Structure 1
Amino acid sequence: MNLFSEVKDLVLTQLEALAEEGLLPGGLDMQNVTVEPPRDASHGDMATNAAMVLAKPAGKKPREIAEALAARLLADPRVEAADVAGPGFLNLRLTAATWQAEVAQILTHGITYGRSGLGAGKRINVEYVSANPTGPMHVGHTRGAVFGDALASLLDYAGYEVTREYYINDGGGQVDTLARSVYLRYLEAHGQEVSFPDGTYPGDYLIAVGETLKDRVGEAYIDQPEEVWLEEIRSFATEEMMALIREDLAALGVKMDNFYSEKSLYGTGQIEKALADLKEKGLIYQGVLEPPKGKTPEDWEPREQTLFRSTAHGDDVDRPVMKSDGAWTYFAPDIAYHYDKVSRGYDALIDVFGADHGGYVKRMKAAVAALSGGRVPLDVKLIQLVKLFKDGAEFKMSKRAGTFVTLRDVVDQVGPDVTRFVMLTRKNDAPLDFDFDKVLEQSKDNPVFYVQYAHARVCSVLRKAAEQGGDISDAALSRADLSGLADPAELKLARTLAEWPRLVEIAARGNEPHRIAFYLYDLASDFHALWNRGNDNPALRFVQDGDPAGTSAKIALPRAVAVVISAGLGILGVTPLEEMR
């Protein structure tokens, strides 16, 4: 179900035939041969670089190879023209019947059209969000959550076995700070006046947590020293915050397969086990690091520490895993967590981090490479910042959180569908502006509306066609005579539809779900253009009054558009609308 792959297979088959005829040497490496849309659509439907990449190893001129290949490709009924351009690029134009047949394929296979076997069932772990359990998720977490969730869906669609995972950062000092902050709200719930020292969490979201703690323990912790209540409130507060985070994720349509606690690594031998594995490989040693580059901090002094030889796996410097006082560094539990992932048998790992974790990427990649012996690749995706705008000004405050805009602030104002789509309208490593006014506009400039409107328009067409009494099922439409879909605008739309399976594989290979959003916008643009042409040319209208057979042929194309839009929006986690008001 990938026309580009089918034509590539045709090209490779004909190259092998040329080798059998002695026009090319045998055993040529065909790995870099591609078939893809030409940069200039006027040059044809597809282009192959075969002659260019094979000329040197074959000892022949590129045009000589291209002309011989063109002659063989023209024998295939799908190929209407094969033109050699420039030094040896080969541009192909396919017959209208080929594009019409692709529309029928879409209707036959439904939303599975474009599903790929690329992943071949390989197991892949996508860790995303992983926000500290110290409060509600903010808008930065929102973008990471949407990106990670869409990426997981994309990889599933491309044939991988995907686990969605949330790493709960509940092992560090920030959770002690949370416990102290909840204790203050607990005292407040008992009518005491409290103040929040610097470094604590003053957000209103902890008021309810303090009330709940009061209901649970009564006055048991009043006037008690910290050692009496810290551990218990720490555990209680973490559970309460994770319940809040789960609610936030649910509001966004995100459901995790697994929540993994950092705290479970401490006191269980997990960290020691991971570092022992690295020590056996000669990668753990006692040493003294060089001072930081640039201006050396006044409190810096050379200290012997336990170090991971991360430079052996591509890092810039070796990294401490244990401090001179015997305490673990932040890096040590992260090594243990990824050691656990590798031990669970995943074939690949993906971590979705905030932009402020850029300095962590090389050390984490080095750790996974060392732990897995290079078997398990780790791809780290950094999520750049989101700037919010409202009424023409930057929007920064949230009463509920105290200092930041929460995920729920965004979802409550524009809905989960708009939130998710807009968060994918830029590549993950590019900053994103989220304008509350613009994302609700009903215009071409709003990609969410533009794509949703295309789907809703198709549904309105199908409802009107059904009123004629014809069979508008996908099965019936796939059997319709589609030879009448011959106008350039109709064929252009069919070509864009045929790019869907190829686009899925490109996006999955690069772990780039934003490509799905971009593609859907282009598809919607081609559809709306054809719709508008029908306003001026009755022959291009989807519903042909008084002609049920003609209508069946015409509405097959927009129905195929709706199928692909529905599949694409499904990957993004967005609901395709049947009507818009």
Structure 2
Amino acid sequence: MTENLFAHVRSWVLQDMSAAFPGLPTDVLAKIEVAPSRDAAHGDMATNAAMVAAKPAGKNPREIAALLVDALVKRAGIAKAEAAGPGFVNITLEAAFLLQQIPVILAAKEAYGQGTDKGQKINIEYVSANPTGPLHVGHCRGAVVGDALANLIAKAGYDVTKEYYINDAGAQVIALGRVVYFRYLQALGLADKADAYAASVPGGMQYGGAYLEPVGAAFAALHGTALVDKPESEWLDAARQFGVAKMLDLIRDDLAALRVYFDVFSSEDALVQSGGVTRGLAILEQAGLIYRGVLEPPKGKTPDDWEPREQLLFRATAYGDDVDRPVAKSDGSNTYFANDIAYHADKMRRGYRQMIDVWGADHGGYVKRMQAAVKALAGETPASLDIVLCQIVRVMKDGAPVRMSKRAGTFVELRDLIDEVGPDAVRFIMLMRKSDAQMEFDLNAAVAQTRDNPVFYVQYAHARARSVLRAAGEVTGLAQADLTSLAAPEELALIRKLISWPRMVDSAAEAREPHRIAFFLYELAGDFHALWNAGRDDAALRFIQAEKPVETKARLALVTATAMVIRSGLAVLGVQPVEEMR
């Protein structure tokens, strides 16, 4: 029996459509879907096959739908099929066909929904915060979305690499090195020299948070007074590298507290120093996509406040971008875009033809140019870059915004959020909105033991399931249980939700939308709580009935399957299931 019942029924639809209309093109058949019915009153599933095939078949969708209905009702397992609306076909499955899926879940356990090996590598890059300080709540959302997305795509059957790109080249890490030196002088007790140095820095000191004080102290312990009064050229590189290393340690610790771990850390500085930018731009230059030219004035600029100048440009418009993009600054140094071109070229060199980047929403204007660059770098071999944008998060407590942390001084740290509500609540709640929608993270709601707290509601469902199984004691042979007694509407609704899990994995992975998994688990928990409550009102629906061992075993099989699917979903989100609520 197949795990993905929707894929199984879709194969029937495709067979029946191909039999009725042998000439249907492959691309038309690929557009045929079988999805859960939006309204349970209309059946278990619905297909768009008739409407998709109408034009190439040269027939009215309703006529095609009628033919498909006649074919489907002859299939064992389908109780009813009927045409609806402009040409949808609603499908109702036999209850016995649904029940056959429970042993499938029990056999697969938490691996239920695991996709077959696609034989494809996907690189997912996320967080990639500048190594200049601790992570904040904005980084947190990208970390959770990226990590859950990576888990989801791996669950769908892809070979996934989780990657962090260290932005350790450029002005921001030079500024970090200067602050490390400033804190170094302070740690040596040379406050006057520290203040004088700070006053001499063009534009002033950045990164003023107290988190850099121990870094300066450690730098002082390493170098003593050897760097005091030395010119910047003699200590800046050492201070920069030391600061970056310490900040990466801090970032790794923050991520570990959130249960986020990476397979690969790639250094921008190492890429630049190894000639990666030259190699990346050479690919484009050999394709005739690098030229010297003058761009039109940016929107909102006029000839009076804008000076045209010749630049080295990438012909991004040839690949869907709005304008061609500079790859070198006026002083001849690389633009950030040139470095990013090199980074994606390096990922492709490492064998990744499918890439996903998770960015903050403030980088939305960067999407077209980066996708254009990947298309250009790919040449004749197809490659893709999907961008997932994450909107800002506002942290609220007692109805008011939480403004900043004591250590960082200017923003809410990720670690503060985790310490307040725990990693499970942070991860689950961050996924209760689509990533490109702004959200408020309510600290009060995140610790409330109510239905309004989604992580509590789902974990409570799992804890309830486990409590039933503990109360039942050791019961063997659940996979062979007689399930025919599972006929109550609440039981069948729960089973229908369980069997939709493999399809949910596939569709959410394809859409790059891990929030769908959080929604699914919340709905699944609701179906289980509804069955639990029905048992309180109707003794015939209670899970354990000593005088009815056959019915009890069937319900224990259903409860066990439910707990397994909840654990399977929580694993994708990176949230731990609980055995009991405390």
Cα gap change, 1:171 to 1:574, in 2 (>3 Å): same
Find the partner of 2:186 among 162, 185, 188.
188
| CA displacement at 1:240 relative to structure 2 | 0.7
Q: Spell out the pairing of 1:263-412 with structure 2 (5 A cutoff).
A: 263-296=269-302, 300-373=306-379, 375-412=382-419
| CA displacement at 1:539 relative to structure 2 | 1.1
Match of 2:505 in 1: 504
Cα gap change, 1:295 to 1:63, in 2 (>3 Å): closer
Match of 2:470 in 1: 463
Match of 1:12 in 2: 14
Q: Spell out the pairing of 1:485-524 with structure 2 (5 A cutoff).
A: 485-524=486-525
Deviation string, structure 1 residues 73-110 (Cα, Å, up to 9, x no partner): 22222011112223432211111111111122111111
**What is the distance in 2 between the residues matched to 1:80 and 1:325?**
73
Q: Which deviates further from its counterpart, 567-576 or 351-360?
A: 351-360
**What is the distance in 1 between the residues matched to 2:29 and 2:238?**
63
**What is the distance in 1 between the residues matched to 2:25 and 2:179?**
70
**What is the distance in 1 between the residues matched to 2:352 and 2:336?**
24
Do the aligned partners of 1:310 and 1:363 also contact (CA within 8 Å) in 2?
A: yes
Do the aligned partners of 2:404 and 2:413 also contact (CA within 8 Å) in 1?
A: no
Deviation string, structure 1 residues 112-152 (Cα, Å, up to 9, x no partner): 111113x6121111000000000001110011011111111
Q: Which deviates further from its counterpart, 56-65 or 313-322?
A: 56-65
Cα gap change, 1:297 to 1:565, in 2 (>3 Å): farther
Q: Spell out the pairing of 1:443-462 with structure 2 (5 A cutoff).
A: 443-462=450-469
Q: Which deviates further from its counterpart, 163-172 or 315-324?
A: 315-324
**What is the distance in 2 between the residues matched to 1:224 and 1:81?**
84
Match of 1:211 in 2: 217
What is the TM-score with the length of structure 1 in the denominator?
Answer: 0.95
Find the partner of 2:243 among 237, 257, 271.
237
Deviation string, structure 1 residues 318-376 (Cα, Å, up to 9, x no partner): 11111222111111111111110111111201111111111111111111110012611
**What is the distance in 1 between the residues matched to 2:55 and 2:324?**
43
Match of 1:256 in 2: 262
Cα gap change, 1:27 to 1:316, in 2 (>3 Å): closer
**What is the distance in 2 between the residues matched to 1:456 and 1:436?**
23
Do the aligned partners of 1:361 and 1:380 also contact (CA within 8 Å) in 2?
A: yes
**What is the distance in 2 between the residues matched to 1:16 and 1:68?**
12
Do the aligned partners of 1:462 and 1:555 also contact (CA within 8 Å) in 2?
A: yes
Match of 2:114 in 1: 115
| CA displacement at 1:51 relative to structure 2 | 2.2
User: Which letter does structure 2 place at the counterpart of 1:255?
Assistant: Y
**What is the distance in 2 between the residues matched to 1:497 and 1:318?**
49
| CA displacement at 1:544 relative to structure 2 | 1.3
**What is the distance in 1 between the residues matched to 2:66 and 2:283?**
58
Do the aligned partners of 2:521 and 2:566 also contact (CA within 8 Å) in 1?
A: yes
Cα gap change, 1:7 to 1:234, in 2 (>3 Å): same
Q: Spell out the pairing of 1:126-141 with structure 2 (5 A cutoff).
A: 126-141=124-139
**What is the distance in 1 between the residues matched to 2:414 and 2:25?**
56
**What is the distance in 1 between the residues matched to 2:387 and 2:142?**
12
**What is the distance in 2 between the residues matched to 1:543 and 1:63?**
48
**What is the distance in 2 between the residues matched to 1:231 and 1:147?**
34
* Aligned: 1:431 with 2:429: no
User: Which letter does structure 1 place at the counterpart of 2:57?
Assistant: A
What is the TM-score with the length of structure 2 in the denominator?
Answer: 0.95
Match of 2:483 in 1: 482
User: Which letter does structure 2 place at the counterpart of 1:402?
Assistant: G
Do the aligned partners of 2:178 and 2:205 also contact (CA within 8 Å) in 1?
A: no
Secondary structure of the 2:127 match is coil
Cα gap change, 1:27 to 1:287, in 2 (>3 Å): closer
Cα gap change, 1:457 to 1:440, in 2 (>3 Å): same
Do the aligned partners of 1:132 and 1:169 also contact (CA within 8 Å) in 2?
A: yes
**What is the distance in 2 between the residues matched to 1:326 and 1:465?**
74
Match of 2:548 in 1: 547
Cα gap change, 1:340 to 1:71, in 2 (>3 Å): same
| CA displacement at 1:6 relative to structure 2 | 0.6
Do the aligned partners of 1:127 and 1:352 also contact (CA within 8 Å) in 2?
A: yes
User: Which letter does structure 2 place at the counterpart of 1:141?
Assistant: H
Do the aligned partners of 1:465 and 1:551 also contact (CA within 8 Å) in 2?
A: no
Match of 1:576 in 2: 577
Secondary structure of the 1:306 match is strand
Cα gap change, 1:322 to 1:397, in 2 (>3 Å): same
**What is the distance in 1 between the residues matched to 2:133 and 2:564?**
40
Cα gap change, 1:322 to 1:395, in 2 (>3 Å): same
Secondary structure of the 1:322 match is coil
Match of 1:35 in 2: 34
Do the aligned partners of 1:128 and 1:352 also contact (CA within 8 Å) in 2?
A: yes
Secondary structure of the 2:30 match is coil
**What is the distance in 2 between the residues matched to 1:353 and 1:26?**
40
Match of 2:169 in 1: 171
User: Which letter does structure 1 place at the counterpart of 2:366?
Assistant: Y
Match of 2:558 in 1: 557
Secondary structure of the 1:212 match is helix
**What is the distance in 1 between the residues matched to 2:226 and 2:327?**
39
Match of 1:414 in 2: 421
Task: Among all aligned residue pairs of Structure 1 and Structure 2, give the percentage whose two residues are the same amino acid.
Answer: 57
| CA displacement at 1:228 relative to structure 2 | 1.2
**What is the distance in 2 between the residues matched to 1:164 and 1:176?**
27
Structure 1, unmatched stretches of 5+, are: none
User: Which letter does structure 1 place at the counterpart of 2:497?
Assistant: T
Deviation string, structure 1 residues 282-306 (Cα, Å, up to 9, x no partner): 1101111122111349763211111
Deviation string, structure 1 residues 234-279 (Cα, Å, up to 9, x no partner): 1111111111111111111011011011001223221111111101
Do the aligned partners of 1:470 and 1:548 also contact (CA within 8 Å) in 2?
A: no
Secondary structure of the 2:273 match is coil
User: Which letter does structure 1 place at the counterpart of 2:311?
Assistant: Q
| CA displacement at 1:27 relative to structure 2 | 5.9
**What is the distance in 1 between the residues matched to 2:328 and 2:523?**
52
Structure 2, unmatched stretches of 5+, are: none
Secondary structure of the 2:228 match is coil
Secondary structure of the 1:437 match is helix
Do the aligned partners of 2:179 and 2:205 also contact (CA within 8 Å) in 1?
A: no
Do the aligned partners of 1:456 and 1:578 also contact (CA within 8 Å) in 2?
A: yes
**What is the distance in 1 between the residues matched to 2:382 and 2:15?**
33
**What is the distance in 2 between the residues matched to 1:161 and 1:298?**
53
Do the aligned partners of 1:78 and 1:95 also contact (CA within 8 Å) in 2?
A: yes
